[in-house]
Structure 1
């Protein structure tokens, strides 16, 4: 079954369906009522003409039917029109019948009383088709003409085509008016629904501002039905903010409590005799780096559970590149940012640590040049969360020896150093990978155009409209 996810489209769909059913029902009912009224009026017309004929015909001196009904309708004098009158003697009254000019030499058959019985006024109405193919409605009665009991059957017919044309014309006008009313009603209903759901759109934009780091709470004047939802979301944001503060406090306490023991271990390692001093110093340094890494992960996880942070990419990149140029005066650092300014949905210190590790690693292995490029990346190219519209790609490339495909997997493992001749702990790339994954991004390593190593970062971005 097809599910419509849009609330506006769903309401419009049901409103359109209801309008269609209601208007069709109204059209059928009104048409049926109008048909009944038209047929009743037609019967009344035939009845009036019937009694006009009755009043105009009598028994003459020679015991014949005499009279010339003046019905005021030329159709009774034109052949084949379906408008006839006919007076036929009954019983022993053997006079010649009288008929309208329009009937000519034809006759109208008489149905049995079982097929069309008389009513309480001794009248009956029935239909038939004449020799010209006209559908007729006939009004009939029987009247005693004189004191001798001589009687005659009086019949007047009318062509039902008149009624059908009148009903058809009325139905066309009715359908046109109802269709116009229906489209107008749907248009007004659509406008009402769109404007009625505007507060939900404002609430959505308020949430986007929170997600984009531009606001901390949902603010605005909302209707009574939406205000409780906004209040609950604000309460949830406050609760998450308290969780983040507690997490940060606990992270700080843990860092403070571990800093002193690790420092003592490092100091003690300096007075130990070889080869134990190198082992203890190396392990203590590794422990210090790992503690820092996991503390960062705890802080990022706590941050991700609450609201999304925001930082501008280009200033951070420029600052890091300036530092790297001072530290590596013999290396050339090239920086390019496409379609700037770009904003990321992450903490600035996490971005600095991520890019700093990549730049430091690239500078360590580069021959002469390190290239840093950044550009916005469509969601389809990112290959990550389809619910997020904005992503940013950062490329850090050096012109060093690079890595073979089988070496790339080893380089991302914690503590693995593929080149022991260079300084380092082997934790840089693994830290970058961990921070990137915490922000639901990805890190990829490959050989660049210059033959060196190219690190590709895909990080969550925030659009210029504040949409993540």
Structure 2
């Protein structure tokens, strides 16, 4: 699997950096190769020119001896062991001492075999060898007939390749330095250009964060021509979502209103009927009312839960609920803790109030002295949910009452099931809490608290 950076800026910077570095490396290699090729060709041209200067300076005198004093205008041919030499040697039956530059002294210059390095069509050849002083030299060689009697000689001029390599190395060093400075400067300017060019995307991201946080209802700002259609489509999607939610709420209200009167009539008629028919009709009408309300709530939650505009500040809602519970239960102590401050649920406020309110009512009913309410970020997502898509918040309501056994906990969350008939209630509170949490893809559970009482735990979707 290929790992790709998640940031668009990082992707563009990575691709552009790889391209720029690769281009500079290739350019450096090509320029260096071209310079070497040109330098070697120039070096050979220099040796060829010096070779023919030597040829033009050497003659056969009246004693049939080689004679002449080449003047090449280069002091290196007169300084010993410099790697710059010229040599003239007789060929065949031409019996005469060879001539050589003073720089060679008593040294020798090996000759490459003609089989290894043959003469070209101009009867010249070039090869590399080492002199007696371990200098690496480039040799230019030719053979010339000097007079009409057929006296011939081999002419060689050698140049020190270290001079050539030093010049090439100096050029490469300066080239790579210049390319490095240009490359780092270009990468910096490229990064600034990319960051500046992608700034509108960052602006769009901040606008979306404000929408998710409930601080704004649309994508505001002036965007470039390439991004404006995207911003317009997002605003259209948000507006469409708002209309869908409002239409769902209106339909839910219309349905509730249309069913309210028939159910009320049935319940009134049931009161005047004698048992057991009246009781049966009243029980069924009450069940109808409960079921209608339950499914109306589910429809409302289903229409709202995916909305980016459903936001509720936890601390504000919990403080209001706690104030109400303190007035209703002055003999109980209610301790609230929201850490860190500013936690926000991605839920409708009335759903938060209904779930937490039911839990607080149960806790206050069975608590001995104290009820604790805490809200913190959840360490992990509920089972079956992916934590990376959104944040999750855990709300815990714990009392110091007698608590419940494992078997009693399983019975407590069943709809209409009451474990203590001496306390007021319908037995629907915990089942409603579980259903609302489920509709928001959250989780609800009961367990024994640290102080022996019952601890109710809600895991609900939050705003990242």
Structure 1 residues 335, 286: CA separation in 2 closer, same or farther (over 3 Å shift)?
farther
Q: What's 2:43 paired with? A: 42
Contact conserved, 1:210 with 1:217, CA < 8 A, in 2? Answer: yes
Q: What's 2:153 paired with? A: 152
Contact conserved, 1:379 with 1:390, CA < 8 A, in 2? Answer: no
CA deviation after TM superposition for structure 1 residue 321, in Å: 2.5
Indicate whether 1:2 and 2:2 are aligned: yes
Indicate whether 1:345 and 2:355 are aligned: no
Contact conserved, 2:137 with 2:159, CA < 8 A, in 1? Answer: yes
Moved more, 261-270 or 73-82: 73-82
Contact conserved, 1:59 with 1:66, CA < 8 A, in 2? Answer: yes
Indicate whether 1:212 and 2:213 are aligned: yes
Q: What's 1:437 paired with? A: 438
Over residues 390-434 of structure 1, what are the superposed CA-to-partner deviations in whole Å (9 max), with x where a residue is unaligned?
443322222222111222122122222222222222111111111
Q: Which has the higher contact order (CA 8 A, sep 6+)?
A: 1
Moved more, 246-255 or 59-68: 59-68
Moved more, 280-289 or 205-214: 280-289
CA deviation after TM superposition for structure 1 residue 59, in Å: 2.5
Q: What's 1:23 paired with? A: 24
CA deviation after TM superposition for structure 1 residue 33, in Å: 0.7
Indicate whether 1:138 and 2:139 are aligned: yes
1:157 match: secondary structure: strand
Over residues 238-290 of structure 1, what are the superposed CA-to-partner deviations in whole Å (9 max), with x where a residue is unaligned?
22222212211211111112111211122122212234444433443333223
Contact conserved, 2:382 with 2:443, CA < 8 A, in 1? Answer: no
Q: What's 2:428 paired with? A: 427
Indicate whether 1:266 and 2:267 are aligned: yes
Moved more, 275-284 or 203-212: 275-284
Over residues 18-62 of structure 1, what are the superposed CA-to-partner deviations in whole Å (9 max), with x where a residue is unaligned?
223212221221111111111122112212322332333222332
Over residues 272-326 of structure 1, what are the superposed CA-to-partner deviations in whole Å (9 max), with x where a residue is unaligned?
2234444433443333223212211110110123333122223322322333333
2:387 match: secondary structure: coil
Q: How does 1:89-238 map to 2 (within 5 A)?
A: 89-111=90-112, 115-119=116-120, 121-146=122-147, 148-238=149-239
Q: What's 1:310 paired with? A: 311
Q: What's 1:465 paired with? A: none
- Aligned mates of 1:32, 1:342 — CA distance in 2: 64
Contact conserved, 2:380 with 2:392, CA < 8 A, in 1? Answer: no
- Aligned mates of 1:136, 1:86 — CA distance in 2: 14
1:387 match: secondary structure: helix
Over residues 169-198 of structure 1, what are the superposed CA-to-partner deviations in whole Å (9 max), with x where a residue is unaligned?
222222222223222222222222222222
1:222 match: secondary structure: coil
- Aligned mates of 1:169, 1:89 — CA distance in 2: 40
Structure 1 residues 407, 237: CA separation in 2 closer, same or farther (over 3 Å shift)?
same
- Aligned mates of 2:27, 2:333 — CA distance in 1: 81
Structure 1 residues 329, 93: CA separation in 2 closer, same or farther (over 3 Å shift)?
closer
Structure 1 residues 103, 117: CA separation in 2 closer, same or farther (over 3 Å shift)?
same
Q: What's 1:415 paired with? A: 416
Contact conserved, 2:108 with 2:132, CA < 8 A, in 1? Answer: no
TM-score where L is the length of structure 1: 0.90
- Aligned mates of 1:430, 1:248 — CA distance in 2: 23
Structure 1 residues 95, 29: CA separation in 2 closer, same or farther (over 3 Å shift)?
same
Indicate whether 1:281 and 2:282 are aligned: yes
CA deviation after TM superposition for structure 1 residue 114, in Å: 5.3
1:101 match: secondary structure: coil
- Aligned mates of 2:111, 2:367 — CA distance in 1: 115
Contact conserved, 1:85 with 1:154, CA < 8 A, in 2? Answer: yes
Q: What's 1:255 paired with? A: 256
1:102 match: secondary structure: coil
Structure 1 residues 176, 397: CA separation in 2 closer, same or farther (over 3 Å shift)?
same
- Aligned mates of 1:175, 1:311 — CA distance in 2: 60
Name structure 1 gaps, 5 residues minimum: 463-467
Structure 1 residues 342, 97: CA separation in 2 closer, same or farther (over 3 Å shift)?
closer
Name structure 2 gaps, 5 residues minimum: none
1:370 match: secondary structure: strand
Q: What's 1:82 paired with? A: 83
- Aligned mates of 1:110, 1:352 — CA distance in 2: 103
Structure 1 residues 12, 342: CA separation in 2 closer, same or farther (over 3 Å shift)?
closer
- Aligned mates of 1:202, 1:239 — CA distance in 2: 23
2:275 match: secondary structure: coil
